[in-house]
Amino acid sequence: MEPGKKQGKTTIMSMNRLIPVAVSLMLGLAGCGGGGGGSAPPTPPPPPPPPAVTKAEAYQFLNQASFGATEAEAEGVIAMRQEAWIDDQMQKPASLQLPHLQVLPPPQFPFELHADRVDIWFRNSLYGEDQLRQRVAFALSEIMVVSQLGALGNLPFAVADYYDMLARNAFGNYRDLLEEVTLHPAMGVYLSMLGNEKPDPLLNIRPDENYAREVMQLFSIGLVELNIDGTEKLDDLGQPVPTYSQEIIEGFAHVYTGWTFAGAPSFREARPTRFNQVIPMQLYPGFHDTEAKTLLNGVVLPAGQTGEQDLAAALDNIFDHPNVGPFIAIRLIQRLVTSNPSPGYVRRVAEAFNNNGSGVRGDLAAVVRAILLDEEARPTMAMEIDGKLKEPLLRLTQLWKSYNATSNSGRFPLNAAYILFGQGPLQSPSVFNFFSPFYAPPGEIRDSSLVAPELEISTEYLNTQFTNLMLLQCFFLNSQSQDLEDDDVFINFEEEIAIAGDIDALIDRVADKLLAGQISDTLRQELAGMLALLPESEPALRAAETIYFIVTSPEYAYQR
């Protein structure tokens, strides 16, 4: 046989052997999308599940996001996790106040309905399903303040509807909220925009500047320019840069002219009724100033615009100011989580305000999520500057929620809450709220350049008042009390009475309900020593002492 033929035969045989291998390789490449050769990388294992939410973490979260943690609600957070709980809460409709007031028999004097308004506020705050919405509404009510004390004393429907408006907008857009606040008759009366007229030199009429000033200073941008992280911008001399001037205040004051109660025959004949105090104010064009107006950042509104055009442009001008994101971030973080948020925390929340992830500015739902889910809201390693002092109302509502407080009438008659606790729902002494966001008591806190706003109403008198009220609640207004009147709000501690013979078990039970079980050794030892002095034959007294001891302790007053 010739060498060439032998070689050819061998080549053909080799190719026959290689063809199946080549086909297999080609099929493999086709299956994994083509080129590069080799087999597909193995599918990575799924990420490990997040660690379970502990009871302490659930309580800490609920004390930030509701009117006080309870064991049942903590179990819900543990099962759902915080993210799903927030999503679920944001879908719940608002528990409202105005419908409750509207079905009550008319009292002799309108101001009497404020007691009913406070009553329904407590019912909604304690037992409303929309806990997060109600808590955010309360926070907003301490930023965009109106109060029954003063000009709104005889307008309880307006005050109730104003709070309902805050609740409805708690997860809406800040621009919409700003407009509803501006045109609400309660705000119009409280900060004297309602009835504001264009200038008339002959009658010595000049536009009122009250709302123009406060909507900027307190509701939106503050007094000085801010960086995105909430720190102050400084000029070349190292001084803070003011956000607005007197000329700008006057410009906005002229914008807010011509608005008063709706449906009146004329501007000057407008009077509040049961109906027009709960609908937006109406523009009466003849009383609106149509001259040019200077606003923020050099914006000038042209002359000849309608009142509606001026108002829309002015509110857009405020809304678009770069201060709004960090300003609202700081105020809401302080009301919900901590008095001293870090610049990084403020920046992350302000960025959520500026862009919710879908290009939308001012989405309050995104802001609330960013606040409550931030790594600093519940840090792994606690620091002394974390958290804040609980407001007196929140200390009360947590106790009442934990011990199923009620009254025989079903009412919570605490219209004098602002006298008893230094605060009450829409009962601020002024537009500056019950306390300043900048308040720092003398001593260690101020020396450390920190703030503690709630300490401004933690005076010796009010602290003593709160302690005495808790004594009355625990020892005389409970499920064992005799001769309770219909409106007496009492707590139920039958479960504690049943185990009062075991001091450790009793302390554990109360600490579980009020402190998520996080009781210090010092507090436990002091409490156990005191309980040992009480006879075992008096279980109700032991239960009352334990609750009172904890609810008046610094550990309960501090919100981590």
pLDDT at position 101 over 70: yes
Q: What is the pLDDT of residues 250-278, one digit of tens each?
A: 999 999 999 999 999 999 999 999 999 99
**Per-residue pLDDT at 352:** 98
In the predicted model, what is the mean pLDDT of residues 113-117? 97
Evaluate whether residue 99 is within a structural domain. no
pTM over 0.85: yes
Q: What is the pLDDT of residues 347-364, one digit of tens each?
A: 999 999 999 999 999 999
What backbone phi and psi angles, to 5 degrees, belong to 155?
-125, 60
Evaluate whether residue 81 is within a structural domain. no
Question: In terms of domains, do 232 and 339 share one?
Answer: no
Distance of CA 282 to the CA centre of its chain: 30
Contacts of 521 (CB under 8 A, 6+ apart): none
Question: In terms of domains, do 531 and 427 share one?
Answer: yes
- Rounded-to-5 percentages of helix, strand, coil across the chain: 50, 5, 45
Evaluate whether residue 24 is within a structural domain. no
Q: List the structure tokens of 147.
A: 């109060």
Mean pLDDT of the residues in the chain = 93
**Per-residue pLDDT at 77:** 97
Question: In terms of domains, do 349 and 437 share one?
Answer: no
**Range with lowest mean pLDDT among 93-97, 303-307, 341-345, 385-389:** 385-389
Question: In terms of domains, do 264 and 297 share one?
Answer: yes
pLDDT at position 11 over 90: no
Question: In terms of domains, do 483 and 552 share one?
Answer: yes
Q: What is the pLDDT of residues 161-180, one digit of tens each?
A: 999 999 999 999 999 999 99
In the predicted model, what is the mean pLDDT of residues 479-486? 94
As a dihedral over the C-alpha atoms of residue 376, residue 66, residue 62, residue 494, rounded to 10 degrees, the angle is 150
**Per-residue pLDDT at 21:** 40
pLDDT at position 123 over 60: yes
To which residue do tokens 């080609």 refer? 26
Evaluate whether residue 248 is within a structural domain. yes
**Per-residue pLDDT at 28:** 41
Query: Whole domain around residue 486: which residue ranges?
Result: 388-559
For the chain, what percent of residues have pLDDT higher than 70? Answer: 93
pLDDT at position 470 over 50: yes
pLDDT band at 50 (very low <50, low <70, confident <90, very high): confident
Evaluate whether residue 26 is within a structural domain. no
Q: What is the pLDDT of residues 406-451, one digit of tens each?
A: 999 999 999 999 999 999 999 999 999 999 999 999 999 999 999 9
What backbone phi and psi angles, to 5 degrees, belong to 90?
-70, -15
Of the candidates 71, 23, 61, 39, the residue with the CA atom closest to the CA atom of residue 509: 71
Evaluate whether residue 418 is within a structural domain. yes
Kindly tell me the sign of the dihedral angle through the C-alpha atoms of 144, 148, 151, 152.
Answer: positive
Tallying the residues shown for the chain, one arrives at: 560
Evaluate whether residue 168 is within a structural domain. no
Partners of 538 in the β-ladder: none
Comparing 305 with 560, the larger pLDDT belongs to: 305
Q: List the structure tokens of 96.
A: 């409202």
pLDDT band at 458 (very low <50, low <70, confident <90, very high): very high
pLDDT at position 13 over 90: no
In the predicted model, what is the mean pLDDT of residues 152-165? 98
Overall number of domains in the chain: 3
Question: In terms of domains, do 350 and 277 share one?
Answer: no
Question: In terms of domains, do 334 and 426 share one?
Answer: no
**Cβ–Cβ under 8 Å, residues 278 and 161:** yes
* The 3-state secondary structure of 367-389, one letter per residue: HHHHHHHCCCCCCCCCCCCCCEE
Q: What is the pLDDT of residues 297-306, one digit of tens each?
A: 999 999 999 9
Question: In terms of domains, do 358 and 258 share one?
Answer: no
Question: In terms of domains, do 296 and 414 share one?
Answer: no
Long-range contacts of 194-198 (CB under 8 A, 24+ apart): 194/259, 194/260, 194/261, 194/281, 195/260, 195/267, 195/270, 196/253, 196/256, 196/257, 196/258, 196/259, 197/257, 197/258, 197/267, 197/287, 198/254, 198/257, 198/258, 198/287, 198/288, 198/289, 198/290
Per-residue exposure over 6-35, b if at least 16 CB sit within 10 Å of its own CB, e if not: eeeeeeeeeeeeeeeeeeeeeeeeeeeeee
In the predicted model, what is the mean pLDDT of residues 475-503? 96
Question: In terms of domains, do 529 and 401 share one?
Answer: yes
**Per-residue pLDDT at 111:** 96
The bridge status of strand 300-301 relative to strand 293-294 is antiparallel
Q: What is the pLDDT of residues 179-235, one digit of tens each?
A: 999 999 999 999 999 999 999 999 999 999 999 999 999 999 999 999 999 999 999
DSSP state of 434: S
Question: In terms of domains, do 504 and 402 share one?
Answer: yes
pLDDT band at 19 (very low <50, low <70, confident <90, very high): very low
Q: What is the pLDDT of residues 199-212, one digit of tens each?
A: 999 999 999 999 99
Question: In terms of domains, do 343 and 448 share one?
Answer: no
**Per-residue pLDDT at 37:** 52
Partners of 300 in the β-ladder: 294
Distance of CA 384 to the CA centre of its chain: 23
pLDDT at position 129 over 60: yes
Of the candidates 296, 220, 309, the residue with the CA atom closest to the CA atom of residue 258: 309
